[in-house]
Amino acid sequence: MVEVGVIGAGSWGIALAKLLHTNGNKVTVWSIVEDEIKMLKEKHEHVDKLPGVKLPEDILFTTDLAETVQQKDMLVLAVPSVFTRSTAKSMAPYVTEKQIIVCVAKGIEESTLMTISDVVEQEIPCADVSVMCGPSHAEEVGIGLPTTVVAGAKTKATAERVQDLFMNDVFRVYTSPDMLGMELGGSLKNVIALAAGMADGLGYGDNTKAALITRGITEIARLAVAMGAHVETLCGLTGIGDLIVTCESKHSRNRKAGMLMGQGYTMQQATDEVKMVVEGIYSAKAALMLAKKYHVELPIIEEVNKVLFENKSAKSAVTDLMIREKRPEHTELEWES
């Protein structure tokens, strides 16, 4: 039996806590919100964020961060990306040398343009930081629907330890050394999903969605490769796989927020309606700043930023994307004549 501390009791943290318990591990879940922990202790269900998913009675729930972190074989950091730095700073006094922390949130810190794993490494330099990404909505993992993800780490040994901890007959885990590509794919797909949702809100069809997904992964890969990631990663589960599920799923908060904006809601109205953290909004500005830093074009992400922060209508954004200057799809291909 492995002892695991799950830091963050949102839908993803709770779904992974149940999965880890199913795999025979002793699980402790932390939240800073006392009412949330009280509800989990009393009902053994997150009635707000993961209704219908019943939790075993021997999962421990606490607001004591030290209790959750100390003497654990592995830690799962599942707070929203905007709270990663503050939470990691609070965890740091209790983390021991080479203790594995699995980062499962997706985002880019706007103020520093750092990935989640970079933020955690900066705040907890003694830790062995890894990531886990892929097409994996909590609502489906929580009820045991077949899911595949990727564990990324700096060493093969750490990635395989994470793989062994999470993997079972309904949750398949691959490994990868390309943490940067995984995190960029997982973060930037949320921005593209906002665009896909806007298209849905406008009443556009499958052709539009297919174009956004395909051109979206092109933009993500273009930036990721410029930053040093590998294109193979963006062709896999943490790239195109994660993008497809987030653009298409009824569970996607980014798609839902985008759909509301396509229907005329403001960004604030849309996020209020979703009632959960919409990660793509926080990653959108950071993506644009990275594009400028690395001198790459991200037209879809640029238009999403204009809708989010410049009061541009979603319909006008789509029109401006359609009438951009003519060009070939792949500039690397050569004509015979």
Catalytic residues: 189
Which residue is it, tokens 């990275």? 290
Q: 3-class DSSP state for residue 173?
A: strand
C-alpha span between 294 and 220 (Å, rounded)? 13
Query: Helices 279-294 and 299-309, interaxial angle, to 10°?
Result: 130
Give, as one character, the DSSP assignment of residue 332.
T
- Strand partners for 311: none
Structure tokens at 199: 């298209």
Give residue 39's Cα distance to chain centre: 25
| Pair 238, 134: CB distance under 8 Å | yes
The bridge status of strand 3-7 relative to strand 74-77 is parallel
Tell me how far apart the alpha carbons of residues 308 and 209 are, in angstroms, rounded to a whole number. Answer: 19
| Burial per residue of 7-35, b for 16 or more beta-carbon CB atoms within 10 angstroms, e otherwise | bbbbbbbbbbbbbbbebebbbbbbbbeee
How far is residue 131's CA from residue 337's CA, in Å, rounded to a whole number?
47
Helix (H) or strand (E) holding 179: helix 179-201
Is residue 146 classed exposed, middle or buried when 0-12, 13-18 and 19+ CB atoms within 10 A define those classes?
Answer: exposed
